[in-house]
Amino acid sequence: MEQPTVCVIVPVYKAEATLPRCVQSVLTQQVAGGLRLILVDDGSPDNCGALCDAYARQDPRVTVIHQEDRGVSGARNSGLSAACGAYVVFLDSDDALRPGALQAALDAQAADPEALVLWNYTTEEQDPAPVTGAVHTAEQSELARLYLDCLIAMPWNKLYRWEYARLLKFDESYTLGEDLQFVLDYIALLGRKCPEFHYAVLESALTFYDCSRTGTLSTRYHEDYCEIWPRHFEKLNAACAAAACPGQDMMPLHRAELRVLAEGVADILRRDPAQPGGLRRDKARGALANPWLRELLRTMTSERCYSPYLLPCRWNSLRLIWALAESARTASPLFGKLDWAGYYLLLGRYARD
């Protein structure tokens, strides 16, 4: 088979309802040099495997891999092993590429060969905004800001050079946040191969992200949530330090990280499968004792970086953490009251934003 310009890798699992939309969105792309679609049936118990085979019979650009259930990371790794050509794009089976997406990304890459091309996404399936080639450039030192702008953590909004991506793997031992690990590994590798690289951010949304899905990471409970995210954030902060991200970007990043950990502590109290009461509280206290979290609190104190969770976490107050997280989750006005109470307890000497 002739080498395509771009390979699109789609992990497939329990996606009968959305797979046709996903596949159609890829195969209708007009790409100079051609494309290849790799569907990885990850042991899906429904009819997805047969659907994938039907697409392969209908279109020679489709390759199907059937494997036992290894999870989304294992499926992406299998897709990477089978990929070829100049570039790789990841896509989830319940999402879709917008018309003209791939060529817009390739045009941006051709115009700026040293760049890592990435793009925004939309949650509107019929988003009326046109796909354009408008791009803005971001330097390596803007990594923290790009993360805060929801452009770094996911793998499916980037154009990867196949020659580099094939050297990496998604870590199959993680059940949460493994996407961020892969992206940071790719950025580090790109920095070694092309020290002067920067980011080319397409201003158009090229991917439709289906946020109506159920059973996502945002809704499922993860027992090791408060163990995993400190590892991810430690790696993210190290990458930001290596990129010389400025303090004005690191402070909001630290606030975001503290919120994630504090909300994870509250989630232990809310729905950990341990018996309600003492066991949940013990696990939550253990999460607050995480060395990375204690170091984050010291860093935020030295930065005079305010977060409503700063004092409750410093005090190990499960009651206050719970009250803040629950009021934020339910949009209760109590959150604002607790937020300002903490700020005034610090005499207004910390930066709020």
Q: What is the pLDDT of residues 306-337, one digit of tens each?
A: 999 999 999 999 999 999 999 999 999 999 99
Measure the N-to-C terminal CA separation of the chain; round to a whole number of Å.
54
| Mean pLDDT confidence for 35-50 | 96
Q: Considering just the CA atoms, what is the radius of gyration of the chain in Å?
A: 22
Strands 198-208 and 96-97: antiparallel
Instruction: Indicate if the pLDDT at residue 268 is higher than 50.
Output: yes
Q: What's the token pair of residue 48?
A: 């997805």
Model pLDDT for residues 10-33, shown as the tens digit of each residue:
999 999 999 999 999 999 999 999
Distance of CA 204 to the CA centre of its chain: 18
pLDDT for the residue 214: 47
Going from the N-terminus, what domains does the chain have, and what CATH number goes with each?
6-208 (3.90.550.10), 225-345 (no CATH)
Q: Which helix (H) or strand (E) holds 87?
A: strand 87-90
- DSSP string over 59-77: -TTEEEEEE---HHHHHHH
CA distance 276 to 216: 24
Mean pLDDT of all residues belonging to the chain:
94
